[in-house]
Amino acid sequence: MTKLKPLPSLRGIAALSGIAMFAVLLLAVAPAVLSDHWLNNLGKYCCWAIAAVGIGLAWGRGGMLVMGQGVFFALGAYAMAMHLTLETAGDRVPGFMVLYDPLAPLPAFWEPFRSAGFTLAAIVVLPVVAAGILGYALFKRRVKGAYFAILTQALAVALATLISSTIRETGGDTGLSDFKFFFGFVLNDPANKVMVYLIAAALLIVCLLAVWQFYRSRFGELLVATRDAEERVRFLGYDPANIKLVAFVVSALMASIGGAMFVPIVGIITPAEIGAAASILMIAGVAFGGRASLFGPALGAMAVGWGQSSLGSTWPDGWTYILGLLFVVVILFLPSGLSSLPARFAAIRRRPAEQPTPPITAAELEEVRA
């Protein structure tokens, strides 16, 4: 350790002040300016943004196209929803279960979710264990690229189907809803709603800080190196599977946290929020904002979330077309998302003839050749 390298710290300060600005906007300005309704909406976008930050890490930096983040979103969401349902039901069996079979007892796997501590632990541990096992199995067998994407998507489809078909255990297609309490706080109380929003927004800031540290760390460099030339990393003595596993598990954890906060804010969780379409929606935001950038995924997810919940309900037909076109246009012409626009304009101004070429990862090329 002889010389200090001053270069990255400058960018580091810029990124940090960006996060700080974002934090002020979300935590101080938004609650003061927005109506309850819009603050609640913003909270929902924050939840999607939390999941998106994780996707940015896994896909943008790690090259793993996670098309089934709905699975981990669901783990957090259903863990939280089960706890809130039990909290609302008190000592009795939740209402929807009674509907199908009045005498049957509470399913055994629901029982531990009575405990707030267990629920909070489950929100963290479940996705880590699930993603750990899945990732270990897939990455060690060198499943990557399109295979990985399709398999994760298949899991999201499978989980959504499973939940749909187990009406008595999970609420099926109608999902879990009508939560009255949030860890003892009455959810109807506007003050408590603001509190729930603030928790979600704060968690988003924490996740941004976490990936910021990831990106500037040696691990971040290693992750990019693995994305661009996995075999080469292997010949440097690292096991790329472990590197990818860490990024994948962290992204799963973030999806779970996003899902957990989604439940008290939106008040309902159904298989539609976690299935293939929902998982693709999460990807859409990340692609739109800029998969490999720090703020791109979060801002993109918020933009798409806004489109989904406002346009999606007032003009559903048009919104689907917009979403489809968004994929086509952004991926085709702007693979690094909106966040790459400033750099692009700068590059065009500097040398008008030369267009920056979209990045092609070695892993992707290898995928075609294999």
Using CB under 8 A as the binding rule, the residues of this chain from 325 to 364 that contact other proteins are 325-328, 331-332, 335, 358, 360, 364
Phi-psi domain of 297 (left: phi exceeds 0; alpha: psi -120 through 50; beta: other): alpha
Binding status of residue 206 toward other proteins by CB under 8 A = no
Angle at 279 between CA 261 and CA 291, to 5 degrees: 90
- Determine which residue in the list 114, 180, 216, 311 makes contact with other proteins, applying CB under 8 A: 216
The one-character DSSP state at 336 is: T
Span interacting with other proteins, options 30-38, 71-79, 107-115, 231-239, rule CB under 8 A: 231-239
C-alpha span between 53 and 198 (Å, rounded): 18
Minimum Å gap between C-beta 370 and other proteins is 7
Using CB under 8 A as the binding rule, the residues of this chain from 98 to 157 that contact other proteins are 137-138, 141-143, 145-147, 149-151, 153-155, 157
Using CA atoms, how far apart are residues 83 and 118, in angstroms rounded to an integer?
9
Distance CA 359, CA 341 (A): 14
> In angstroms, what is the minimal distance from the CB of 326 to other proteins?
7
Given the complex with other proteins, which of 5 and 349 has the nearer CB atom? 5
User: Reduced to 3 states, what is the DSSP secondary structure of residue 205?
Assistant: helix
Residue list 34-93, contact with other proteins (CB under 8 A): 63, 65
CB of 45 to other proteins, least distance (A): 21
Query: Is residue 46 helix, strand or coil?
Result: helix
Q: How far apart are the first and last CA of the chain?
A: 42
* Site map 277..316 versus other proteins, x via CB under 8 A: ---x--x---x-----------------------------
Q: For the residues of 230-266, what is the DSSP string, one character each?
A: HHHHHTTT--HHHHHHHHHHHHHHHHHHHHHHHHHHH
Q: Given the rule CB under 8 A, which of 76-84, 92-100, 184-192, 221-229 is the region that contacts other proteins?
A: 221-229
Minimum distance, C-beta of residue 325 to other proteins, in the bound complex (Å): 7
Nearer to other proteins, 36 or 239 (CB): 239
**Where does residue 316 rank: exposed (0-12), middle (13-18), buried (19+ CB within 10 A)?**
exposed
Q: Quote the CA–CA distance of 257 and 160 in Å, as a whole number.
A: 18
Smallest separation, CB 293 to other proteins (Å): 14
* 229 binds other proteins per the rule CB under 8 A: yes
Task: Write the binding mask 241 to 280 for other proteins: x where contact by CB under 8 A, - elsewhere.
Answer: -----------------------------------x---x
